[in-house]
Chain A
Amino acid sequence: MSRGNLITLSATVLLIIIFPVLVTRVEAISHYLDVMVFVGIFSMITMGLSLLMGYAGQISLGHAAFFGLGAYTSGILCVKLAVSPWLAMVAGALLTAVVAYAVGVPSLKLKGHYLAMATLGFGVIVNIVFNEEVELTGGPSGLSNIPGLKIFGLPIRGELLFYFLVWSMVILVLIFCLNVIHSRVGRALRSIHDSEVAADAMGVETARYKVMIFVLSAVLASLGGSLYAHYVGFLSPSSFNLLFSIRLVMMVVVGGMHSLWGALLGTWLLTFLGNEWLHVFKDFDILVYGAILLFVVMALPEGLVSVVPRLSHMWKRGRESEG
């Protein structure tokens, strides 16, 4: 791993460990811990989405569907068939992988707007299924009483334990993804993004890689969904709709599509905005979302994370002129 990534990773791990200590001291923000759990859960999805969009250069406007598939599989298997949560999570991941493969193979032959619309359509169809199959999913009234997770018999109850569980998983996935990026596979993905024709000529199986990264990102979303189901204990189809798919894309774009750190930054920012800081706007938070998205995509196309090298560049310039 490069020095830059290692430093950022260590800093991130440090922040993750310190955060609960700081936040639980102050009454007013002690619930930030709960928000950070959601940041972690959503990060599972956005890291995968970042690989798909920023590295492989594709798009998905339907990832809420995979999130939902993981969540509902875990929920249904645990509530109706008393399956062990971890097993249900694996089952969810497998089901999602199959669905993602089935949808991905024909969809990823499409490009640009067509691909966007196909994934959009798929996401809405899955959401409709969640709403309509009332016997299975509970329909609009939702599915409740989803049991919590246990590790070796120890129940993961409460925000703090879940926080560490989720973020441990996120860090592991992050390291995995960083490794993939800096490898033959990562280079192959990026080559597809830059010139699919040249990538073909170099023997890169572009179609296969696109599907592979799509399935990987779907499976990560599914894992996030399972975690969500066990954390919240209750599922409703409105959490897995088009607006959420768009929010996911926003998190990746606002943070910076071409960097995993960008995905984390964007997820953190938009989750806090959505769950916390925009509460004053109530339902009109979508106005703020739209405005932020528009601003970023037009003024800062490389996302917020691109501000960092710019700042360090200005800092260096400043020090040079002082010397």
Chain B
Amino acid sequence: MEKLSLGGQIVQYLFTGVTVGSIYGMVALGFNIIYNVTEMINFAQGEFVMLGGLIMVFSARFLPLPVAFCVTVAALTAIGAVMERSTINPLKNATVLTLIIVTIAVSILLKGIAMFIWGKDPYIMKPFSGAEPFQVFGAAIQTQAFWVLGISGVIVLLLTLFFRKTRYGKAMLACADNPEAARLVGIKVKLMVLLSFALSAAIGAAAGAVITPISLMEYDRGALLGLKGFGAAVLGGLGSFSGAVVAGLLLGVVESLCAGFVSSGYKDAVALLLLLLVLFVRPSGLFGNVEASKIKKF
């Protein structure tokens, strides 16, 4: 096999980075949606992605791809809604600690259920279209990567439209800004919370479904995905959608370059170190509002 030129290597890592980074961006979007409406962090966000991947693998065996995709997204939307109704909604004056533990408990449960149904082995599925990778400067770019980027792009677009143009979207943003005022104006805050969970789960599902042909999926992938996605969310400024996407891509590229040129064993640590750095030095993130982050509950 021909040795890749430096240029080829860089292209390879960049592309991998951007691909995996858009997944981080989507996970970050999921975090932001829930955070914006409820000011809480959903520790089970990574599990949504994991389940998305596994359900997609499963349904793609019996159903045509587009249908399987829709089934996956619908299934996770339901799971997100059930989670909110059964665990978040009943907690009235819960402390931050209680909320943290509740979402952790749900993440453990979801992981256990996944292990129960699918076992511990990783699952692979065929790429959505074509099997032969592209060749650019000698680097092999998988076709699935374009699907990842494409679907991520569509999701970002749809979300932007949703939050800017639709009634529900604008209502959700209003809740984020000022739940008291929102309630006074007649917005059903509880419904918005439910929507935020359902929407986050749906996005997670899409992310999981589209990345599995590239990086496989197994029952315990959720934690690391969630952590890195959170890292992207904080890096981009918690609550900022555009920040999440940009930070996710940045994170993915940095991680990929590190894995390629420094050490692949430590690649996971890169994202986490970045997370810690941001939290310690500039918790408002690259694009966040410094004043706002000081006034926020934490």
Contacts and interface: CB of A to CB of B under 8 A. Distances in A.
Q: Do chains A and B touch in the complex (CB under 8 A)?
A: yes
B283 interface: yes
A124 interface: yes
B120 interface: yes
Interface string A99-116: 000000011011111111
Interface string B77-120: 00000000001001100001110111011111101110110001
Interface stretch (B20-28, B163-171, B262-270): B262-270
Nearest to B39: A113
Nearest to B275: A121
B93 to A, nearest CB: 10
B227 A287 contact: no
Contacts of A253: 101
Interface residues of A, number: 41
A109 B112 CA distance: 34
B87 A124 contact: no
Given A125-B269, A287-B116, A114 B279 contact: yes
B115 to A, nearest CB: 6
Interface string A147-177: 0000000000000000000000000000000
Contacts of B231: 121
Interface in A55-90: 57, 59, 61
State the 4 A-B residue pairs at the shortest beta-carbon distance, nearest first.
A287-B112, A290-B109, A290-B108, A112-B96
B280 interface: yes
A182 to B, nearest CB: 23
Contact of B102 (A107, A121, A129, A294): A294
Interface residues of B, number: 43
Contacts of A118: 275-276, 279-280
B223 A242 contact: yes
A246 interface: yes
A287 B113 CA distance: 7
A122 B231 CA distance: 12
Interface of B is mostly: helix
A249 B227 contact: no
Given A112-B298, A286-B111, A287-B109, A298 B100 contact: no
A293 interface: yes
A201 interface: no
B90 A124 contact: no
Contacts of B283: 110, 114
Contacts of A115: 298
A220 interface: no
Contact of A298 (B90, B115, B263, B273): B90
A293 B280 contact: no
B22 to A, nearest CB: 21
B100 A59 contact: yes
B159 interface: no
Nearest to B112: A287
Contact of B115 (A57, A128, A286): A286
B100 A113 contact: yes
Interface of A: 53, 57, 59, 61, 106-107, 109-118, 120-122, 124-125, 128-129, 131-132, 242, 246, 249, 253, 283-284, 286-287, 289-291, 293-294, 297-298, 301
21 contacts: A53-B97, A57-B97, A59-B97, A111-B297, A113-B40, A114-B234, A114-B279, A117-B234, A118-B280, A121-B231, A121-B275, A128-B268, A128-B272, A131-B265, A132-B266, A286-B111, A286-B112, A287-B108, A287-B112, A290-B109, A294-B87
Contact of B108 (A113, A120, A289, A301): A289
Contacts of A283: 115, 120
Contacts of A291: 105, 109
A290 B227 contact: no
Contacts of A289: 108, 112
Nearest to A53: B97
A289 B224 CA distance: 20
Contacts of B197: none
B230 interface: yes
Contact of A284 (B41, B106, B115, B297): B115
Given A110-B283, A283-B120, A290-B109, A249 B275 contact: no
B116 A122 contact: no
- Please indicate which of the listed interface residues A53, A109, A301 has the most CB atoms of chain B within 10 Å of its own CB: A301
A219 to B, nearest CB: 21
A153 B53 CA distance: 57
A12 to B, nearest CB: 27
A124 B96 CA distance: 22
Given A242-B223, A290-B108, A290-B109, 10 more contacts: A106-B279, A111-B298, A115-B298, A117-B279, A121-B275, A121-B279, A128-B266, A132-B263, A287-B113, A297-B98
Given A111-B298, A298-B102, A117 B275 contact: yes
B276 A249 contact: no
A222 B263 CA distance: 29
B45 to A, nearest CB: 12
Contact of B276 (A116, A121, A287, A301): A121
A106 B273 CA distance: 13
Contacts of A131: 265
A106 B280 CA distance: 6
Nearest to A116: B100
A3 B262 CA distance: 60
B167 to A, nearest CB: 29
